[in-house]
Amino acid sequence: MRKFKTESQKLLDLMINSIYTNREIFLRELVSNASDAVDKLYFRSLTDGSIELGKDELEIRVAFDKNARTITVSDTGIGMTADEMEKNLGTIAHSGSQEFKADNDFSDTDAADIIGQFGVGFYSSFMVAKNVKVVSRSYGSDEANVWESDGVAGYTISAGEKEGHGTDVILSLKDDTDDEEFSEFLSEWKLRSLIKQYSNYVRYPIHMLVTKSRELPKPEDAGDDYVPQYEDYLEDEVINSMTPIWKRRKSDVSDEEYAEFYKSDFHDFVDPQSTISVHAEGALSYDALLFIPGRAPFDLYSRDYEKGLALYSAGVLIMDKCADLLPDYFNFVRGVVDSSDLTLNISRETLQRNSQLRAIAQKVEKKIKGELEKMRDNDRDGYEAFFDNFGRSIKFGIYASYGSKAEELAPLLLYFSAKEQKYVTLAEYIEAMGEDQKDIYYAAGESVDRLGKLPIVKTILGKGYDVLLCTEDVDEFALQAMRTWQEKELKNVSTNDIDLASDDEKKVAEETTEANKDLFEAMQEILGASVSKVEVSPTGMEAPARLTAVGQMSMEMERILAQGPGDSMARAEKVLQLNAQHHAFEVLKEAHEAKDQAKLRLYTDLLYNQAMLVEGLPIDDPLTFAEEICKLM
C-alpha cells in the first residue's frame, strides 16, 4: 500500500467528506481526462509516423452496471504506464490543484464551494465512489496495470489485463444513506443528461449503450386480434454533439439554429435580438457566441440576477456563469466563451487574476459595443426595442462609474425628445441645436406626457430648443454623473441654474423682486421651510408660478429617494418663482397691500401646492388644498 502525498491526502479528505449537490461534476472531470488522453495520442500520431490510428479508434465510452453499482469511463487514449500512474494519480499534479496547496485549510466552506464549481480533476471521483479502479495500458506497451484506491488508506498498483491501449476508470459508488443518494447515477437518463450538460462539446464521440424498444416481427400464424409485441434492446449511441455551434462560422449556421441553441441553452422562449459570433486566433485564441436577448428576464434588475457567460476550455464546461467576462452594464448579454488557452482547473480566485480571461473580457466588451452601435445606426426600430429592454443597465453603468464610463457608453443612450416626439441620441440632439443654444436640457419625471406639460419645458420649447424627457429613476443620476457631453453642459430644467433669460429679462426680474421684497418675505414666512426663497421668474411662462431646485438635489430625485427603502429625509432646496405677468401676481400684491393676511395665506398656499403637483411631487395636506379650492368657487 502506497501513501498519497500530503496535499493530495487533504484534498481527498475533502472530496470524501463533501456533501455537495455539485458532486455530479465527477463525470465531467473523468470525461475531460479521457478527452485529454485521446488528444495526447492524436497529437503524437501527427508527428510519429509509426502510429497508425484507425478512423474510429479514438473514442470515449461511459457505461454503468446497476447490480455491481459501478460506473465506468473508458477511453482509447494514450494510457498510462505503472510509473505514470504513480506520478499522475498519487499526487496532485495539475495546475488548478496547485492553487489548492496554497490554500490549505480545506475545512472552510468557501473552499468546498470552489470544488463544487470548478472541480479538481481525478480526485472528484471520490465524492461519489468508495473505491476507484484505474485499468490502463499505455500506447505501444503490451502490459496493463491497475491502480486502485479507497481514497483513505492509500493506493495500490498491480499488473492487470486490458485489451488495446487506453484507460478504464471504474467507480464503485458509495452506498446510499438517508441523506445522500448515489444510486441516482446508475441511470441511463441521468448519465446522458450529465454528458449533455457538461461534455456536449468534447471533440471525441462519447458512446453509451442506450435502451431502445422495437416491435417484434408479427408471427405468421397471428390472428386478427394480434397485439404488436415489443422488446427492449441496447444500442450504441453517441451522446455528445461534438462540434460546438460557437466554433462554426456564422455563414455556416442559420439564424434558426442560433435561435434554437439560444433558447434551449439559456432557457428563453423568445428569439435573441442579435447574435454575435467571434473567432479569434493568434496570441489569444478563443471562440465566443454572444446573444442579446429579445426581452428582459423578469429578474434582470433584482438582486438575484446573475450576469455572466458560460466558460469552456476546449469544449469542456468550466463555469456556467463567469461574471468576470461581462461588465455590469452589459449584464443582459448571454453566451459562451471557449478558449483552449485556459486550464480546466481554474478557481474563482485565479480566474480574476487570469490575464487571458481579462483580455478576452475586454474583447467581448468591445464586440458587444460594436454590435450595439451597428444596430443603432442601421436598425433603429430594433435598437429602440433593445434600449427599452436594457437601456437601464447602460445608464446604471454611467452612474456607477461616476461618469468615467460615459465616453464609451453615452453614445449608446437614447432619450425621448420633447420636440421630435421620438427617441434621439445625444449626438442627434447636439446636431439639431441652434447656434444660440449653449446647453443640453433634460427634464426628469414620471411620464413623457406629464413632463411635456411642465411650464418650463413649454417655455424652452417655445424658444425653439429641445428637451430630453427622462422617465427612469436612474436617468437623472446618470446625467448628473456625466455633467457634460461634448463640452455641452447637461442641465436639468427643474433646477434654477438654467440660463434661458436674456440679461434684460434678468434685470427686470431682479428689479421686480426687489420692488416686492415685502410681499415675498411675507409669502416666505407663510411657506416656512418648504421653500428657501420666493422671487420673480426671469423666464417667461404661462403658469402663474413654478418651483425650481437649487443645487445638486432635484425635485425628481427627492421623489425617487422618498420611494426607496427607509425614510429618506433628503429634500431638494426649492425656490418659488412667480410669473410677474400673470393675473395671480396682481391678486397677491393687492391682498398684501390691503393687509388681508387670510387671503395672502390662501393664495400663497394654493400657488405653492399647485406648483408642487405640476412637478409631480406629493403635497403635504391634500385635504386643506381641496378645501381652499372650494373656498374660491
- Give the residues lining the site for ligand ADP (CB under 6 A): 29, 33-34, 36-37, 75, 77-78, 80, 88-89, 93-94, 96, 121-122, 167, 344-345
Using the rule CB under 5 A, is 33 a contact of Mg ion? yes
Quick count: other Cβ atoms within 10 Å of Cβ 311? 24
Q: What are the residues facing 491 on neighbouring strands?
A: 441
Q: How far is CA 390 from CA 154, 370, 383, 395, 476, in A?
A: 55, 16, 10, 9, 17
121 binds Mg ion per the rule CB under 5 A: yes
Smallest gap from residue 32 Cβ to Mg ion (A): 5
Which is closer to Mg ion, CB of 33 or CB of 313?
33
Neighbours of 8 (CB within 10 A): 21
294 contacts which partner out of ligand ADP, Mg ion, none, CB within 5 to 8 A by kind? none
CA distances from 54 to 51, 58, 349, 387 (A): 10, 8, 42, 54
What's phi and psi for 428, nearest 5 deg? -65, -35
Query: Residue 167 binds which one of ligand ADP, Mg ion, none, with CB within 5 to 8 A depending on kind?
Result: ligand ADP
Distance CA 166, CA 168 (A): 7
Q: Identify whether the C-beta of residue 394 lies closer than 8 Å to the C-beta of residue 329.
A: yes
Give whichever of 167 and 240 is closer to ligand ADP, judged by the CB atom. Answer: 167
Instruction: Choose the one of Mg ion, ligand ADP, none that binds residue 34, judging by a C-beta under 5 to 8 angstroms depending on kind.
Output: ligand ADP
Taking the CB of residue 338, how many other CB atoms lie within 10 A of it?
23
- Closer CB to ligand ADP, 41 or 424, in the complex: 41
Residue nearest to ligand ADP (CB): 121
Residue 74 contacts which entry, Mg ion, ligand ADP, none (Cβ below 5-8 A, type-dependent) = none
Task: Name the one range near Mg ion by CB under 5 A: 29-37, 77-85, 384-392, 594-602.
Answer: 29-37
Please state at what angle helix 622-632 crosses helix 597-614, rounded to 10 degrees.
120
37 binds, among ligand ADP, Mg ion, none (CB under 5 to 8 A by kind): ligand ADP
- Residue 74 CB, shortest distance to ligand ADP, in Å, is 8
The answer to whether 613 touches 446, Cβ cutoff 8 Å, is no
88 binds, among Mg ion, ligand ADP, none (CB under 5 to 8 A by kind): ligand ADP
Q: Which residues of 174-193 are buried (b: 16+ CB within 10 A; e: fewer)?
A: beeeeeeebeebbebeebbe
Of 402, 401, 425, give the one whose Cα is nearest residue 412.
425
Q: State which residue, 145 or 496, has the beta carbon closest to ligand ADP.
A: 145
Cβ neighbours around 226 below 10 Å, total: 10
Q: Draw the binding track, 66-105, toward Mg ion (x: CB under 5 A; -: no contact).
A: ----------------------------------------
Residue 58 and residue 76 in contact, taking contact as beta carbons nearer than 8 Å: yes
* Residue 156 CB neighbours (<10 A): 12
Residue number with CB closer to Mg ion (11 or 292)? 11
Instruction: Give CA–CA dist 522/601, Å, rounded.
Output: 9
Kindly state the smallest distance separating residue 153's Cβ from ligand ADP, in Å. 19
Question: Which of ligand ADP, Mg ion, none sits in contact with 80, Cβ below 5 to 8 A by type?
Answer: ligand ADP
Q: How far is the CB of 73 from ligand ADP (least distance, A)?
A: 7
d(CA 583, CA 487): 40
Pick from Mg ion, ligand ADP, none: which does 75 bind, CB < 5 to 8 A by kind? ligand ADP
Least distance in Å: CB of 120 to ligand ADP?
Answer: 7
Residue type, 276: I
Q: With binding defined as CB under 5 A, does residue 125 bind Mg ion? A: no
- For ligand ADP, give the closer residue by CB, 97 or 275: 97
In the bound complex, what is the minimum distance in angstroms from residue 176's beta carbon to ligand ADP?
A: 26
Look up residue 80 and give its DSSP letter: -
Instruction: State how far the alpha carbon of 144 is from the alpha carbons of 57, 61, 141, in Å.
Output: 18, 19, 8
Q: How far is the CB of 124 from ligand ADP (least distance, A)?
A: 8
Q: Under a CB-based contact definition with an 8 Å cutoff, are residues 85 and 138 in contact?
A: no
89 binds, among Mg ion, ligand ADP, none (CB under 5 to 8 A by kind): ligand ADP
Element (H, E) at 546: strand 545-550
Cβ distance to Mg ion smaller for residue 92 or 410: 92
Phi, psi (deg, nearest 5) at residue 118: -115, -20
| Strand spans (E) along 190-285 | 206-215, 230-238, 274-280
Which amino acid, residue 508? V
Region from 114-122, 305-313, 409-417, 583-591 binding Mg ion, contact rule CB under 5 A: 114-122
C-alpha pair distances (Å), 177 with each of 174, 180, 183, 191:
9, 5, 10, 21
Give the closest residue to 357 by CA, choosing from 346, 368, 370, 369: 346
* Residue with smaller CB distance to ligand ADP, 57 or 265: 57
Q: Give whichever of 73 and 310 is closer to Mg ion, judged by the CB atom.
A: 73
Provide, rounded to whole angstroms, the least separation between the CB of residue 207 and ligand ADP.
15
Q: Which is nearer to ligand ADP, 75 or 475 (CB)?
A: 75
How many whole angstroms separate alpha carbon 68 and alpha carbon 228? 34
Indicate the residue among 37 and 413 with the shorter CB distance to ligand ADP. Answer: 37
Nearer to ligand ADP, 167 or 610 (CB): 167
Shortest distance in whole angstroms from residue 329 CB to Mg ion: 36
- Give me the least distance between CB of 94 and Mg ion, in Å please: 6
At closest approach, how far in Å is the CB of 35 from Mg ion? 9
User: Which of the choices Mg ion, ligand ADP, none does residue 7 contact, using the CB cut-off of 5 to 8 A by kind?
Assistant: none
Closest contact distance (angstroms) between CB of 75 and ligand ADP is 5
Binding residues (CB under 5 A) for Mg ion: these are 33, 121
